[in-house]
Structure 1
Amino acid sequence: MNNLIFFFMIFSGIYSFISWRKHIFMSLMSLEFLVVFFFLGFVFVMGSGLNMFVSLVYLTYSACEGALGLSIIVSLVRGSGNDLFSSSGLIQC
């Protein structure tokens, strides 16, 4: 039953990433949702010992990745006024 819940959460994160692709912030939030559930999967599967160290390193990197994504979003919103992909200059290149 736990595997069914885990796969449901993963697929709901992927679906939200696909359905909110116009807004950068919502895309990053759905990716963070996926990162947290992969971390929970690591914790439940690996158990304790050295494997817990690996999962904590993964959690540290994911926190740094989230902070970097949030800082990019803040600079994008300050520069363009919104977080839409269409208003940024990335697609127009």
Structure 2
Amino acid sequence: MLMLYNFMLIFMFISGLYVFCSMHKHLLLTLLSIEFLVLVLFLSFFYFLMNYMYNMYFILVFLTLSVCEGALGLSILVSLIRCHGNDNINSLSPLSW
């Protein structure tokens, strides 16, 4: 069971990285894949802390930082859409005007 759980976490992390690398031109999908990677890291961090009987305050710090990261990404997305009209990264290049 332990090996299956580790394989699932590794597969989820690799698939999140693949989506992050393949959707690098679309900002909303990039932010969603980053949030997915944060969730996978949260699961693996929680699993690690439960296995070795560590204190769970680290989880609260990690969740606080991940919420701040998500809010910062959404604020960047909103400012980009207000300035340029869509969330494609190609629209920011002066060559595409």
TM above 0.5, one fold?
yes
TM-score, normalization: structure 2? 0.86
Q: Aligned equivalents of 1:40 and 1:79: distance in 2? A: 36
> Offset at 1:89?
4.8
TM-score, normalization: structure 1? 0.89
> Offset at 1:58?
0.5
Task: Go from structure 1 to structure 2 and tell me whether the alpha carbon gap of 1:4 and 1:91 turns closer, same or farther (over 3 Å shift).
Answer: farther
> Offset at 1:11?
0.3
Aligned residues: 91
Unaligned runs of 5+ in 1: none
Q: Aligned equivalents of 2:15 and 2:8: distance in 1? A: 10
Task: Go from structure 1 to structure 2 and tell me whether the alpha carbon gap of 1:20 and 1:70 turns closer, same or farther (over 3 Å shift).
Answer: same
After the TM superposition, which of the residue ranges 81-90 and 1-10 deviates more from structure 2?
Answer: 81-90
**What CA deviation, in whole Å up to 9, does each residue of 1:16-56 have, x standing for no partner?**
00111110111111011000110011111111552x10121
Within the candidate set 1, 4, 8, 2:7 is matched to 4
> Offset at 1:86?
1.1
Q: Quick one: percent identity of the two aligned structures? A: 46
RMSD: 1.8
Aligned to 2:21: 18
Q: Which structure's CA Rg is the greater one? A: 2
